[in-house]
A = this chain, B = another copy of it.
Amino acid sequence: MQFQYENSFDIKKKIDNSKIAILPVGAVEAHGPHLPLGTDNLLAERLAEKLAKRVNGLVLPTLPYGQVWSLRNFPGSINITNDSIISFLVDIGESLYHQGFTTFAMVNGHLGNGTALKEAARVLYETCPDMRVFYFFYPGMNKAASEVRETKTAHNTYFHACEIETSYMLYLVPEYTDMEKAITDIPDIPAHADVTPTSWEEFTDSAVLGDAKLATEEKGKYIVDIALDNMVKLINDSLGRV
Interface residues of A (CB under 8 A from B): 3-12, 15, 28, 30-38, 41-42, 60-65, 69, 72-85, 87-88, 90-92, 95-96, 98-99, 115, 118-119, 121-122, 125, 132-136, 139, 142, 156, 176, 178, 181, 191-192, 194-197, 206-207, 230, 233-234, 237-238
| Chain B min CB distance to A44 (Å) | 12
The answer to whether A61 and B33 touch across the interface, beta carbons within 8 angstroms, is no
- Chain B residues with CB under 8 Å of A85's CB are 88
The answer to whether B84 and A88 touch across the interface, beta carbons within 8 angstroms, is yes
The answer to whether A28 and B139 touch across the interface, beta carbons within 8 angstroms, is no
| Chain B min CB distance to A15 (Å) | 7
Neighbour of A36 across the interface among B7, B63, B206, CB < 8 A? B7
Q: Which of A8, A85, A191 has the most CB of B within 10 A?
A: A8
Task: Kindly state the separation between the CA atoms of A119 and B82 in the bound complex, as whole angstroms.
Answer: 9
The answer to whether B87 and A81 touch across the interface, beta carbons within 8 angstroms, is yes
The answer to whether B61 and A62 touch across the interface, beta carbons within 8 angstroms, is yes
The answer to whether B8 and A207 touch across the interface, beta carbons within 8 angstroms, is yes
A5-B176, A9-B32, A65-B63 as given contacts; A196 in contact with B38, CB under 8 Å: no
Neighbour of A197 across the interface among B7, B37, B121, B197, CB < 8 A? B121
Q: Which of A9, A88, A238 has the most CB of B within 10 A?
A: A9
| Chain B min CB distance to A178 (Å) | 8
Closest to A65 in B: B92
Task: Kindly state the separation between the CA atoms of A9 and B72 in the bound complex, as whole angstroms.
Answer: 14
A88-B84, A191-B230, A192-B238 as given contacts; A78 in contact with B95, CB under 8 Å: yes
Task: Kindly state the separation between the CA atoms of A108 and B169 in the bound complex, as whole angstroms.
Answer: 31
Neighbour of A194 across the interface among B4, B38, B139, CB < 8 A? B139
- Chain B residues with CB under 8 Å of A34's CB are 7
- Chain B residues with CB under 8 Å of A134's CB are 192, 195-196
- Chain B residues with CB under 8 Å of A195's CB are 134-136, 139, 234
- Chain B residues with CB under 8 Å of A62's CB are 61, 64
- Chain B residues with CB under 8 Å of A35's CB are 7
- Chain B residues with CB under 8 Å of A81's CB are 87, 91
